């Protein structure tokens, strides 16, 4: 994905690091609702939630990214995305805090590759600096593939 393929990003926090995804793929941002566990799923697969009659699988993005502290706080949220812009392929992501929507005009986005061995996600679309913090742009398609493992 080139840096021109999205005009806005939704930034969020996982522990002390910041990440972003294409804001046009975000359907809902929810307080963490009741999530129904699903047996025999990977640790990062928290379960499913019912959103307007649709069953949405929910993953803990913190576990997928290799973070160990996964305690929920008042700022924790579920970001519901549509990877293929289809309602039936929605996925919920638990994050520590949603920060803001960022316009990409004028951002200097540099290519990057994750160096965390324990992370299930290795490739990012790039990294930019905002408020003296580096923000890594997550590849939603890779995220969905990793969640289906």
Strand-strand pairing, 26-31 and 77-81: antiparallel
Q: What is the pLDDT of residue 4?
A: 47
- Read off the pLDDT of each residue in 12-32 and give the average, rounded to a whole number: 94
Map out the domains of the chain as residue ranges: 3-147
Q: Is the pLDDT of residue 124 over 50?
A: yes
Task: Report residue 40 as tokens.
Answer: 């025999």
- Read off the pLDDT of each residue in 60-89 and give the average, rounded to a whole number: 85
- pTM flag (> 0.85): yes
3-147 architecture in CATH? Answer: Beta Barrel (2.40)
Classify residue 48 as exposed, middle or buried by CB count within 10 Å of its CB (0-12, 13-18, 19+): middle
């Amino acid at each position: 994905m080139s840096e021109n393929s999205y005009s806005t990003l939704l930034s969020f926090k996982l522990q002390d690091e910041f990440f972003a995804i294409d804001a046009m793929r975000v359907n809902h941002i929810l307080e963490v609702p009741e999530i129904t566990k699903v047996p025999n799923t990977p640790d990062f697969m928290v379960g499913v939630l019912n959103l307007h009659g649709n069953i949405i699988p929910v993953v803990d993005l913190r576990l997928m990214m290799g973070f160990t502290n996964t305690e929920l706080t008042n700022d924790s949220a579920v970001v519901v995305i549509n990877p293929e812009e289809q309602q039936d392929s929605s996925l919920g992501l638990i994050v520590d805090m949603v920060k803001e929507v960022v316009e990409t005009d004028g951002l200097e986005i540099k290519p990057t590759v994750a160096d965390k061995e324990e992370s299930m996600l290795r490739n990012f679309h790039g990294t930019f600096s905002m408020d003296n913090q580096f923000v890594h742009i997550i590849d939603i398609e890779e995220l969905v593939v990793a969640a289906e493992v």
